[in-house]
Amino acid sequence: NYSFFPGSPKWDNTKRALTYAYVSSANVALSMDDVRVAVQSAFKSWSQVTDFTFTEIGTESGPVDIVVGFHSGDHGDGYPFDGPGQVLAHAFAPQDGRLHYDAEEQWTTSPTGQNGGLEKNGWFGRRRRRPRKPVSIDLQSVALHEIGHLIGLGHSSVLGSIMFPAYGGVRRDLTQDDVDGIHALY
Ligand code: TQI
Ligand code: CA
Ligand code: ZN
Ligand code: ZN
């Protein structure tokens, strides 16, 4: 089932219109426009099942609630990234708002074929040749998971849920367990 962080931290009841901005310390091959579209879609999925709205603003227009960015190696928050593979991204519990992507991963916003593709079963299906490392990782799927953390969800034991702690290939839709979890918190 779904879970929360210890003590169930959540965003204040007065904070439902959240703003976000991009601040990166590393570059990736993707265009920022593609990144924006993918991350925005992930935010939209969560806003459709909650009272939250997520609006991108520029950092110069004042304080933002959520800061999204790409970083590599030690980037100053005590949780250094580890190069290609393993840790893909991390996000902090409410009301911190930091969402960091490991810039050294093979990110994609339009996965095709292989385990990067949109096939139904992803890594959980009956695959004969299970790759050790994904060829490319779907930015939107990871964003959906990390935004779950940002708004207060821990990991779920439900296989196939967005908050299940294993990258299962492309998964861009919240499952009932994810929705139940966020509804139990807010
Ligand atoms: N990053 C871990 C994660 O997001 C970091 C992490 C571990 C974490 N424990 C946490 C973050 C507790 C917040 C709270 O789970 S990851 C997946 C998944 C990762 C993993 O790079 O391992 C996804 C990032 F679910 F596939 F395993 C995104 Cl979708
Ligand atoms: Ca990594
Ligand atoms: Zn970080
Ligand atoms: Zn997680």
Tell whether ligand 1 has an atom less than 6 A from the beta carbon of residue 75: no
User: What's the CA-to-centroid distance between 1 and ligand 4, angstroms?
Assistant: 14
The pLDDT value recorded for residue 120 is: 40
ipTM for this prediction: 0.95
Confidence of residue 105 (pLDDT cuts 50, 70, 90): very high
Collect residues with CB below 5 Å from ion ligand 3. Answer: 77, 79, 100
Rounded percentage of the chain residues whose pLDDT exceeds 90: 81
pLDDT tens per residue across span 40-95: 999 999 999 999 999 999 988 889 999 999 999 999 999 999 999 899 999 999 99
Tell whether ligand 1 has an atom less than 6 A from the beta carbon of residue 38: no
User: Is 56 one of the annotated active-site residues of the chain?
Assistant: no
Tell whether ligand 1 has an atom less than 6 A from the beta carbon of residue 167: yes
User: What's the CA-to-centroid distance between 68 and ligand 4, angstroms?
Assistant: 16
User: What's the CA-to-centroid distance between 99 and ligand 3, angstroms?
Assistant: 7
SS (H, E, C) the chain: CCCECCCCCCCCCCCCEEEEEECCCCCCCCCHHHHHHHHHHHHHHHHCCCCCEEEECCHHHCCCCEEEEEECCCCCCCCCCCCCCCCCEEECCCCCCEEEEECCCCEECCCCCHHHCCCCCHHHCCCCCCCCCCCCEEHHHHHHHHHHHHCCECCCCCCCCCCCCCCCCCCCCCCHHHHHHHHHHC
